[in-house]
């Protein structure tokens, strides 16, 4: 039987868990956002960056963990933990979580320390607007927006006032410091040569 969902209806994470088809979706404030399969370029950049973060964490014995999509990140308001009270669940391309109490068998409950979204033509506006606002409001400390076709990376850091500072855009041959993982720098030439 085909699952029929109303795109104008507000759903919760409890509803989301009932959708047993093979379609990828996210919820932003209860509203469904359909996801498509990534392009080869997108997958290559995501895979390379995930590997770099993973091996840095593994060598340094960091308490942090890194995960790649599909991996559910539940972003509740007011510390809510009940599935029927959570209205935002996303699957960022990459997340780094340094608080082990946020990780469970369903994914992550609460804001990851770092989120990376690799832009695709179909997700550009969504990642730059809706997700940007959600991550900022949820307290994600470091948000990277990777543009594989323009070969640039915008990095946003959360300030004490709860807002992101004006982003820093890295272009050309440079190294990008990862604030969440002190000592790690990402070489843009290596990142975009996948």
b/e code 148-186 from CB counts within 10 Å (16+ = b): beebbbbbbebeeeeebeeeeebeeeeebebebbeebeb
For residue 41, the tally of other CB atoms under 10 A from its CB is 14
Q: 179: Cβ–Cβ under 8 A, 6 or more apart, which residues?
A: 114, 141, 142, 157
When pLDDT is cut at 50, 70 and 90, the band that residue 94 belongs to is very high
Q: Which domain covers residue 31, as residue numbers?
A: 13-191
Residue 1 has pLDDT above 60, yes or no: no
Q: Is residue 73 one of the residues assigned to a domain?
A: yes
CATH code at position 141: 3.90.1570.10
Q: Is residue 186 one of the residues assigned to a domain?
A: yes
At 99-137, the pLDDT tens digits run 999 999 999 999 999 999 999 877 778 888 899 999 999
61 vs 2, more confident: 61
Question: Which ranges of 34-121 would DSSP assign to H, the alpha helix?
Answer: 40-60
pLDDT of residue 4: 63
Q: Is residue 3 one of the residues assigned to a domain?
A: no
Mean pLDDT of 76-89: 91
Q: Is residue 8 one of the residues assigned to a domain?
A: no
Q: Is residue 42 one of the residues assigned to a domain?
A: yes
65 vs 4, more confident: 65
Q: Is residue 4 one of the residues assigned to a domain?
A: no
Q: Is residue 152 one of the residues assigned to a domain?
A: yes
Predicted TM-score of the model (pTM): 0.92
Which candidate, 159, 142, 56, places its Cα nearest to that of 92? 142
At 149-162, the pLDDT tens digits run 999 999 999 999 99
At 8-58, the pLDDT tens digits run 788 999 999 998 777 888 999 999 888 887 888 889 999 999 999 999 999
Q: Give CB contacts under 8 A, 24+ apart, made by 2-7.
A: 5/32, 7/31, 7/32
How far is Cα of residue 164 from the mean position of the Cα atoms in its chain?
15
Q: Is residue 177 one of the residues assigned to a domain?
A: yes
Instruction: Please count the structural domains in the chain.
Output: 1
For residue 30, the tally of other CB atoms under 10 A from its CB is 16
């Amino acid at each position: 039987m085909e699952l029929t969902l109303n795109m104008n209806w507000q759903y919760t994470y409890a509803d989301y868990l009932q959708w047993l088809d093979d379609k990828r979706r996210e919820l932003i404030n209860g509203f469904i956002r359909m996801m498509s399969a990534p392009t080869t370029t997108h997958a290559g950049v995501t895979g390379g960056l995930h590997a770099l973060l993973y091996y840095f964490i593994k060598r340094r014995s960091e308490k942090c963990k890194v995960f790649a999509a599909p991996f559910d990140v539940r972003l509740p308001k007011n510390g809510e933990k009940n599935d029927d009270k959570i209205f935002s669940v996303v699957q960022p391309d990459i997340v780094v979580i340094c608080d082990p109490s946020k990780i469970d068998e369903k994914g992550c409950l609460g804001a990851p320390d770092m989120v990376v979204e690799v832009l695709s033509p179909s997700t550009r506006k969504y990642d730059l607007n809706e997700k940007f606002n959600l991550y900022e409001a949820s307290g994600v400390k470091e948000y990277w927006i990777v543009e594989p076709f323009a070969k640039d990376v915008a990095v946003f850091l959360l300030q004490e006032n709860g807002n992101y500072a004006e982003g820093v855009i890295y272009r050309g041959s440079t190294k990008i410091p990862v604030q969440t993982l002190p000592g790690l720098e990402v070489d843009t030439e290596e990142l975009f040569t996948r």
